[in-house]
Structure 1
Amino acid sequence: MTRFLGRLGGWCARRGRLVLALWVLAAVGLMGGSLVLGSPVSNDVSIPGTDAQRAHDLMKSGFGAGYDTGGTVQLLVYSPEGLLVEERRKKAVEDAIDRLRTMPHVVGVDTPYRRGGISSNLQIGLITVRMQGQDPAKLAETTQTLSKAADPARAAGLEVVAADSSTPADKEIKTGPSEIIGVVCALLVLVFAFGTLTAALVPIFTALVSVATGLGVIGLLGHVLDVPKQAGIMATMIGLGVGIDYALFLLSRHRKLLADGVPVHESVRRTVASSGGAVVFAGGTVIIALSALMLGGFPLLRTLGWITGISVVTAVLTSVTLVPALLGLLGHRINALRVPLLGRRGAAGSGWGALGAWVARRPWRVLIGSVVVLGALAAPALALKLGPLDEGYAAQDSPSRRAYELMASGFGPGSNGPMLVVAELPAPVKDAKAEPVRRLGDAVEAVDGVAHVAAAKLNGSHTAVLIQTISEYAPSDSRALDVVRAIRKIDVPGVRVHVGGEVAALADAASRMSERTPLVIGVVVLLSAMLLLFAFRAPIVAIKAALMNLVSLGAAFGALALVFSIGLGSRLVGMDPPVNSSYLQTIFFSVPIESYVPLMLFAVLFGLSMDYEVFLLTAVRQAFQRHGDNARAVAEGLGSTGRVITSAALIMVAVFVAFIAYPDPLVKTFGVGLAVAIAVDATLIRGFLVPATMVLLGRWNWWCPRWLDRVLPNLSVEGHEDDDAPAPAAEEARPVAPVGS
């Protein structure tokens, strides 16, 4: 593989203008196409084989408009200065309803002046708009249009807010300032690392081209596949991080070879053959980890995983093609635009080399100390609180948060997550007063925690019944899940009871995740270890690397629990507590974490952590093969890669921290988890724990049984066999300062 990559890098360096033009055309064409044609996204969170999914399928069997497609929009009307039943205000509300009835696809509008449509204080009313034939993918636009049609009520001094039944995790997440902040922070780190603006701009430009290409592909895929709304932001986060990092590794290697007098094109060839191989293997581990999410049993998670992987593929491709092209075009001008006072420190990595030597002299003490610190960081993970997110955790000034609070105030907290009880009857009945229907309604009403039960509604064939139920608890309250379970246990002879709705669906998702999590973790760890085994032909190193990555995950989950579950830092990341919270509640504002988030984080973090493992092990292996001294090889490997890995980690941390500024709780969760894990991985684990264990293992690091060595494919990731070869005379070699010199 290294020979192929070397030839590819050399070809791209010689034809830099062509490669650059092709990538720019691809990025502009794909991104432009997605902007012109649109980037459809899906809010499909179906989970085949679950009870909630069966309930949703039954609702399509003739219950009428609004139930077959979920086509309902609710508008909350609030009168801050009087009663809604006052004549002037009532007329304004009725005028708004008349306008709503004329809107496209609207087949019915329920007035708030009905039973259960107005709050007990007569100040909050609920208008329910039932629709048919609208595009479910354009629910947000439809809701805005309907809300605008209620302007007659606003003209009378009433507040009209659209209630949203989706969760914050379902929202379409727009890109914005966080990407710019992340890129600027990454540029600053690169300028400090290289000391020249030209060199710093190469990884930034490459990553932007990579992200644009990936987002263009994802956007166009939305026309033929169900693309989750979270796909774009996840692809941007991961794409920016790995795209800049991979280019950084290649550029660091190239500048070192130039400083050693190697001609430009030969330096590019050797760089792609060596560091390019490590990039391919590192990217492969990320893709393997994301692909394993298809075993999670959750279609949304599966699709989100492989679509996010597209950004990693484009990052690898641009690294081994576009970066060599740019390096070939720039030549020795890669060090142009030098920044004063930067990049003129001592030998690259000397501080890390000293740290490696210090660790090598006291491996046991370092190992024990590292384990204690990492254990303390991971300990809060025991308090990790999984659960559904509702609009009560949205931004304080957002319309969805305002609608949530009005709904809870007027109709009870459970009204924000109604439960849809759908039952299959043993035989067709005449009407909703039939014996099995009546017994079912009585049983649902008797369940502890049920606040309200609506009148039963039969489908067209009178073989199924729908009973909308409101619990006493908010959708994010764990007690709401207990109500779902209790309703599902109702036993009416011949009647099969199913429960749908947001709360039930999220409960089923959590159950499916808990069942499949061990399988996904096992597959990711096994496949990643096998890839490392192929790369280094060292089974102990492969197993140890997989275990080290799990350690960094523990620290990440500990940070998530501390910030969100315990609530110690939820305010710091921009989460707003409920209105009228006590002082203590504002300090310890606990936020649940969606059940699928830990599994998604595991896959992403495991792959990203393996990146640094591959680069460090490659350097240690090369040093060991040169002189056979294991402790010295560990120190040299850490010294040669420490500064580059630290710079790469700082870039990733900066990118991920920038995304914490997003108002969406899901993005905040990923930002915190990814940033903490990468920071811990690049410092405590790669700087102390990994070197200490490698020193203690000695030659066992690189032991491989003969029978295994014979059957393993030859997929060397190193490719440094010609690093010391004399430089060809075809091109003048001019010494150039290495990274940080």
Structure 2
Amino acid sequence: MRRWAEFMLAHRRLVMVFWLVVAIAGAAVSGPVSERMTTDFALPGEPGGKTAEQITETFGNGGYTAPYLVTVSYPEGRTAAGDQAGVAAAFANIRTEVPNVRILDQANTGDPAFVTKDGRTAYAMVFFQYDTSATAKIPTDDVRRALDTAKPPGTTIGVTGESVLATGSESEGPGVLIEVLIGSIGALAVLAFVFASMLAFLPLIIAAASILATFLLLLPLSELGTFSALVQFLIALIGLGVAIDYSLLVVTRWREERHRGVSNHEAVVIATRTAGHAVVFSGVTVAIGLLALLVLPVPFMRSVGVGGALIPLASVAATLTLTPAILGSVGPRWDWPRIRREDSASRSWSRWAALMVRRRWIAAAVSITALLALVGAFAGIRIGMASSDSLAKSGPAHETLATLERGGVTTGNLTPIEVLTSTGEARSAAAELGTVPGIERALVPGDAASNRAGTTVVVLIPDEETVNSKTVGTVEDVIDRAERTPGVLGVTGTGTAQIDFLNAVYGNFPMMLALIALLTYVLLVRAFRSLLLPLKAVLFNLLSMGATFGMVVVFWQQGIGSEVVFGISETGAVTFWVPLTVFAFLFGLSMDYEVFILARMREEYDASGSTTTAIVRGIGRTGRLVTSAALILFLAFAALASSPGTDLKVMATALGFGILLDATVVRSMLLPSLVSLMGRWNWYLPDWTARILRVEPSRPVAVPPEPDPAARTPVG
């Protein structure tokens, strides 16, 4: 790291020019890269996925895609039964005006249940073609326009469905650029407090360079495969927080050395050798958590893993090259005005660390109890999709759904089950599957749009939405019965998508968890030259993750807080892809702070030989830094939570809460108390392990008895 810093300083002008070119190129390609991203959540190879593909190829619509529910409502005194021809013509016009749709209504199924119990509203199910391009829009406006054009005189029309309700409102949200701007303003406010000088702008420059570099790195990869549209949000907002955190660590250490009287050149070298070393291990740890997603047989999760792993790698690259170059050139001039000095540790954080050492048993017990209480809530998690009640509380889609519900139409119509059958046995299969408990009725449309190539799509309507691991049981019963029913070729729908995901992803989760834990442990053993510290870090990081998911259950699934903060009622479940994405990101991000703190503790222990001194000085030097870094990441996630989609809000709040929990309870209380309890065994690394990892062995040094932390706190 010293040689690296010397090289960066010797070529600092070239380094800055290089990053200027990278930033310009990254800005130029960010748009095209975003346009190549998709919203495809397909699960190829799974039973439901295979049937969904077959239906999509044969009929041009449906599959995993939940349909629209479109309505025609008559005024008081008129009924849909008195104008069946007008209703049928209005729905038929959708087929004429919107390509690749399949419609089920009373006209082609003969089912009178397509009229509400008051007789005033008729509705139809519209299965549409789902364009997975990130820039494509679902055909809601086209469907509404076609229905409005042909509606009977004096009637009102409505369009609802899972995809329409999921936006939460008619607004499309602030967009990625606005969210980044919001996060940047919040980060600048925190950085201004930390540095109280013009240096507050430096981490933002590093973040901008790393975000644009990530898009540039993603360009050739997007030629080789598809990437989820979720990646662009993660690059912009998590990239913002991570890059700022890494740069903040290096700049703070540089400033500390400068305020001690060290020359600018040597201060940059020391900061790169110490803080830069921690940044490398931290970045690799984050990347490991994300690359572990590659073991999952789901394309969009793999794309999140690859795209997400580029974020810490680009941030590390920018931090270890551009930061030394700028500090070596204009750093001293930017450290103005010098309102705050860094030549001594924070007295308040040092006193806090001393308190945690002195009351280590109490601190450990309180923090572990708090974490376990939240882990207990995690045991009640339901995996699935957000219920319709939580998707939208106002707007035309919500009003249309409310009209249907008042008319006795169940919300199971939002998540129908599609059964692909041979045409000759469609009616017998429908009669058999319609008797499965939890199925309200079975529909066999007679038009050409639902009968092609000798196959027919039978549609089953469940009693309630099949949106989570509890209500999806009806779908499992249908699949089980279908396997014994002649003429059935496959079952699909939103419910089968959840079952396929649970089988394909969560069945492989133990392997993913073991891989992440093992690689992280080995990496941290090498970083800290200790067997015990990395083990503690990994185990309690997992405990922190469980507590975070417990908060998600309480806040979102049970709705204790979501209504107050976001105006969204309980979701009833956590969307199936959210826990894994949160885990992959949060495991590495929260480990950042462990690396920052323990790296400084290791340094202080090597200098003093005292565990207590290492804890107090380590926390004293990193406490404000870690708190500020966590706050910056939290603000980035708060910006992400401003997106209109409920799923993104759930993911963003989970990441934000996890970061705050980790920086407060885990790193400020649990870490110092446990390190104090483990004493000199924290620093043990046997010879054989050191030889394998190619580092120096470590043995606890023989020192006088540990000083009483109640005495005067060392702050130097």
User: Same fold, TM exceeding 0.5?
Assistant: yes
Q: Which residue is 1:373 aligned to?
A: 370
In 2: Cα distance, 1:348 partner to 1:263 partner: 20
Q: Which residue is 2:6 aligned to?
A: 7
Q: Which residue is 1:647 aligned to?
A: 628
Percent identity of equivalent pairs:
27
Q: Which residue is 1:446 aligned to?
A: 435
1:594, CA displacement in angstroms? 1.4
Question: Which residues in structure 2 correspond to 1:460-609 (within 5 Å)?
Answer: 460=452, 462=454, 465-476=456-467, 480-490=471-481, 492=484, 498-577=490-569, 589-609=570-590
Give the 3 Å change call, closer, same or farther, for CA 155–5 of structure 1 in structure 2.
Answer: farther
**SS at structure 2 position matched to 1:190:** helix
In 2: Cα distance, 1:403 partner to 1:212 partner: 43
8 Å contact kept, 1:27–1:212: yes
Between 370-379 and 86-95, the greater mean CA deviation after superposition: 86-95
In 2: Cα distance, 1:4 partner to 1:715 partner: 19
**SS at structure 1 position matched to 2:574:** coil
8 Å contact kept, 2:100–2:129: yes
Q: Which amino acid counterpart does residue 412 of structure 1 have in structure 2?
A: T
Q: Which amino acid counterpart does residue 528 of structure 2 have in structure 1?
A: F
Q: Deviation string for 1:264-323 (max 9, x for gaps)?
A: 233223322221121111011001001111223333222212212222222212111222
Question: Which residues in structure 2 correspond to 1:408-447 (within 5 Å)?
Answer: 408=405, 411-423=409-421, 432=424, 434=425, 437-447=426-436
In 2: Cα distance, 1:712 partner to 1:471 partner: 57
Give the 3 Å change call, closer, same or farther, for CA 102–482 of structure 1 in structure 2.
Answer: closer
Give the 3 Å change call, closer, same or farther, for CA 353–213 of structure 1 in structure 2.
Answer: same
Asked if 1:23 is matched to 2:48, the reply is no
Q: Which amino acid counterpart does residue 203 of structure 1 have in structure 2?
A: P
- Quick one: which of 656, 659, 665 aligns to 1:684? 665
Between 680-689 and 329-338, the greater mean CA deviation after superposition: 329-338
Calculate the aligned-residue CA RMSD, in Å: 3.6
1:213, CA displacement in angstroms? 3.5
Asked if 1:144 is matched to 2:144, the reply is no
**SS at structure 1 position matched to 2:691:** helix
- Quick one: which of 50, 55, 58 aligns to 1:54? 50
Give the 3 Å change call, closer, same or farther, for CA 391–224 of structure 1 in structure 2.
Answer: farther
8 Å contact kept, 2:345–2:617: no
Q: Which amino acid counterpart does residue 634 of structure 1 have in structure 2?
A: I
Q: Deviation string for 1:682-705 (max 9, x for gaps)?
A: 222222221222222222112112
Give the 3 Å change call, closer, same or farther, for CA 74–258 of structure 1 in structure 2.
Answer: same
**SS at structure 2 position matched to 1:42:** coil
Give the 3 Å change call, closer, same or farther, for CA 413–261 of structure 1 in structure 2.
Answer: same
Give the 3 Å change call, closer, same or farther, for CA 634–132 of structure 1 in structure 2.
Answer: closer
1:120, CA displacement in angstroms? 4.4
- Return the structure number with greater relative CO, CA threshold 8 A, min gap 6: 1
8 Å contact kept, 1:84–1:90: no
In 1: Cα distance, 2:512 partner to 2:213 partner: 29
Q: Deviation string for 1:346-402 (max 9, x for gaps)?
A: 944222222222333343333223322333343322333322225442232355545
Give the 3 Å change call, closer, same or farther, for CA 280–137 of structure 1 in structure 2.
Answer: closer
Give the 3 Å change call, closer, same or farther, for CA 149–553 of structure 1 in structure 2.
Answer: same
1:633, CA displacement in angstroms? 1.6
**SS at structure 1 position matched to 2:418:** strand
In 2: Cα distance, 1:86 partner to 1:499 partner: 33
In 1: Cα distance, 2:278 partner to 2:54 partner: 52
**SS at structure 1 position matched to 2:137:** helix
Q: Which amino acid counterpart does residue 510 of structure 2 have in structure 1?
A: P
Q: Which residue is 1:255 aligned to?
A: 255
**SS at structure 1 position matched to 2:502:** helix
Q: Which amino acid counterpart does residue 184 of structure 2 have in structure 1?
A: V
**SS at structure 2 position matched to 1:498:** strand
Asked if 1:384 is matched to 2:381, the reply is yes
Between 551-560 and 143-152, the greater mean CA deviation after superposition: 143-152
8 Å contact kept, 2:290–2:309: yes
8 Å contact kept, 1:75–1:126: yes
8 Å contact kept, 2:165–2:398: no
List gaps (5 residues or longer) in structure 2: 698-714
1:97, CA displacement in angstroms? 5.5
Q: Which residue is 1:183 aligned to?
A: 184
1:567, CA displacement in angstroms? 1.8
Q: Which residue is 2:296 aligned to?
A: 296
Q: Which amino acid counterpart does residue 386 of structure 2 have in structure 1?
A: L
Q: Which residue is 2:702 aligned to?
A: none
Give the 3 Å change call, closer, same or farther, for CA 630–337 of structure 1 in structure 2.
Answer: closer
Q: Which residue is 1:731 aligned to?
A: none
Q: Which residue is 2:276 aligned to?
A: 276
List gaps (5 residues or longer) in structure 1: 426-430, 578-588, 717-739
Q: Deviation string for 1:469-491 (max 9, x for gaps)?
A: 11111232655412111111215
8 Å contact kept, 1:210–1:239: yes
In 2: Cα distance, 1:375 partner to 1:625 partner: 34
1:163, CA displacement in angstroms? 3.9
Q: Deviation string for 1:158-198 (max 9, x for gaps)?
A: 554444454978999842644333222211111111111x1
In 1: Cα distance, 2:343 partner to 2:269 partner: 27
In 2: Cα distance, 1:381 partner to 1:68 partner: 32
1:233, CA displacement in angstroms? 1.7
**SS at structure 1 position matched to 2:563:** coil
Q: Which amino acid counterpart does residue 182 of structure 1 have in structure 2?
A: G
Asked if 1:393 is matched to 2:390, the reply is yes
Asked if 1:350 is matched to 2:342, the reply is no
1:200, CA displacement in angstroms? 0.8
Q: Which residue is 1:723 aligned to?
A: none
In 1: Cα distance, 2:64 partner to 2:506 partner: 29
1:202, CA displacement in angstroms? 1.0
Q: Which residue is 1:42 aligned to?
A: 38
1:110, CA displacement in angstroms? 7.0
Question: Which residues in structure 2 correspond to 1:332-351 (within 5 Å)?
Answer: 332-336=332-336, 343=340, 347-351=344-348
In 2: Cα distance, 1:531 partner to 1:567 partner: 39
1:79, CA displacement in angstroms? 4.6
Q: How many residues align?
A: 687
Q: Deviation string for 1:46-92 (max 9, x for gaps)?
A: 22342211322332564x44358979866444456675749999869
In 1: Cα distance, 2:277 partner to 2:357 partner: 28
TM-score w.r.t. length of structure 1: 0.83
1:407, CA displacement in angstroms? 5.4
8 Å contact kept, 1:6–1:273: yes
Between 565-574 and 407-416, the greater mean CA deviation after superposition: 407-416
Asked if 1:242 is matched to 2:236, the reply is no
Q: Which amino acid counterpart does residue 363 of structure 1 have in structure 2?
A: R
Q: Which residue is 1:732 aligned to?
A: none
8 Å contact kept, 2:52–2:64: no
1:711, CA displacement in angstroms? 1.6
In 2: Cα distance, 1:382 partner to 1:109 partner: 41
**SS at structure 2 position matched to 1:447:** coil
Question: Which residues in structure 2 correspond to 1:609-648 (within 5 Å)?
Answer: 609-648=590-629
In 2: Cα distance, 1:326 partner to 1:77 partner: 65
Q: Deviation string for 1:3-56 (max 9, x for gaps)?
A: 4532343245x31xx433433432333333342676133232222342211322
In 1: Cα distance, 2:322 partner to 2:152 partner: 57
8 Å contact kept, 2:62–2:129: no
